[in-house]
Amino acid sequence: MLKHNMPKHVAIVMDGNGRWAKKRNLPRFEGHRRGVEVLKNIVQASANLKVKILTLFAFSQENWSRPKDEVDSLLVLFRKLVRQESKNLCKNNVKLNFIGDVTRFSSSLQIEIENSVKMTSENDAMLLNVAVNYSGKWDILQSVREIAAKVAKSELEPSAITTGDITANCALSGLPEPDLLIRTGGEQRLSNFLLWQIAYTELYFSNIFWPDFTASDLEKAIDFYQTRERRFGKTSEQLKRNLSITGPLALGMEA
């Protein structure tokens, strides 16, 4: 792994808990339970690797359509994690943030979410975004609604709307877009995770089920990232010319 070309922002679709459990004749819940342990390990590993922003897909809006007992058990695990992890995150100087429509959760869970965010708000080594009740299309929709409200109040001309306005009202606004998106569990799809924000993100798909994913698998994904040439529409020759003028750090600055 090259220290000078680390992804600043890594996003992960943590998939494969259910199949991990099924393979072992265990209930799906066991896969999720084990998945939470792996989540903690990967947060720690990312902080150790000095990744600045980690964005995890924990629960999608579509996941509400799973059997009620599975949804309930996911909510129990989620509440426990929120309650117990803030201290650990503080130890590692990690700031916690949630993206997604948290208003769908019970008010007591919303309060716990708020408290955990407050508790970690001064931390600055890494930002951890957890996507819960999130959907990429919903994210864009609610941004468009904000913009439409301004247009309705004549505060904004439709022709003056920019991509920047859409970004500014979407989740993760103000942050660099993900450099690397990892999906575990073998599926090669986005399942309505960040859509707007990953226009130029490098995609890495791993067949490993999330409960088996380790720090060394994360490093492998970063190794893959470091082999990619991020051209952002330019030619390879343009990038190399730029590199020879400004040195090896220039590639990371292309965005």
Which residues of this protein are in contact with ligand IPE, per CB under 6 A? 13-19, 57-60, 62-63, 74, 185, 187, 189, 191
Residue 63: contacted member of ligand IPE, Mg ion, none (CB under 5 to 8 Å, by partner type): ligand IPE
Q: Which is nearer to ligand IPE, 78 or 251 (CB)?
A: 78
Say how far apart CA 82 and CA 72 lie, in whole Å. Answer: 15
- Candidates 15, 123, 129, 133; catalytic one: 15
Question: Regarding beta strands 126-134 and 53-60, do their DSSP bridges make them parallel or antiparallel, or are they unpaired?
Answer: parallel
Question: Regarding beta strands 94-99 and 126-134, do their DSSP bridges make them parallel or antiparallel, or are they unpaired?
Answer: parallel
CB of 181 to ligand IPE, least distance (A): 12
The C-alpha angle 127, 172, 72, rounded to 5 degrees, equals 80
Q: Which is nearer to ligand IPE, 43 or 147 (CB)?
A: 43
CB of 205 to Mg ion, least distance (A): 13
* Contact footprint for Mg ion (CB under 5 A): 15
Residue 69: contacted member of Mg ion, ligand IPE, none (CB under 5 to 8 Å, by partner type): none
Positive or negative: CA dihedral 230, 236, 240, 242: negative
Q: Which is nearer to ligand IPE, 35 or 147 (CB)?
A: 35
CB of 209 to Mg ion, least distance (A): 9
- 15 flagged as catalytic: yes
CB of 15 to Mg ion, least distance (A): 4
Q: Which is nearer to ligand IPE, 124 or 187 (CB)?
A: 187
Yes or no: say if 209 and 22 are a contact pair by the CB < 8 Å rule.
Answer: no
- Candidates 63, 169, 192, 242; catalytic one: 63
Residue 29: contacted member of ligand IPE, Mg ion, none (CB under 5 to 8 Å, by partner type): none
- Can you count the helices (H) and strands (E) in the chain? 8, 6
Q: Which is nearer to ligand IPE, 66 or 230 (CB)?
A: 66
CB of 185 to Mg ion, least distance (A): 6
User: Closest residue to ligand IPE, Cβ-based?
Assistant: 18
Collect all residues with Cβ–Cβ distance below 8 Å to 165 and sequence separation of at least 6. 143, 147, 156
Give whole-number Cα distances, 25 to 30, 59, 169, 185, 212, in Å: 10, 23, 44, 17, 16
Say how far apart CA 64 and CA 66 lie, in whole Å. Answer: 5
The C-alpha angle 199, 167, 11, rounded to 5 degrees, equals 50
What the block records as the tokens of 78 is 């989620």
Residue 14: contacted member of Mg ion, ligand IPE, none (CB under 5 to 8 Å, by partner type): ligand IPE
Which residues are designated catalytic? 15, 63
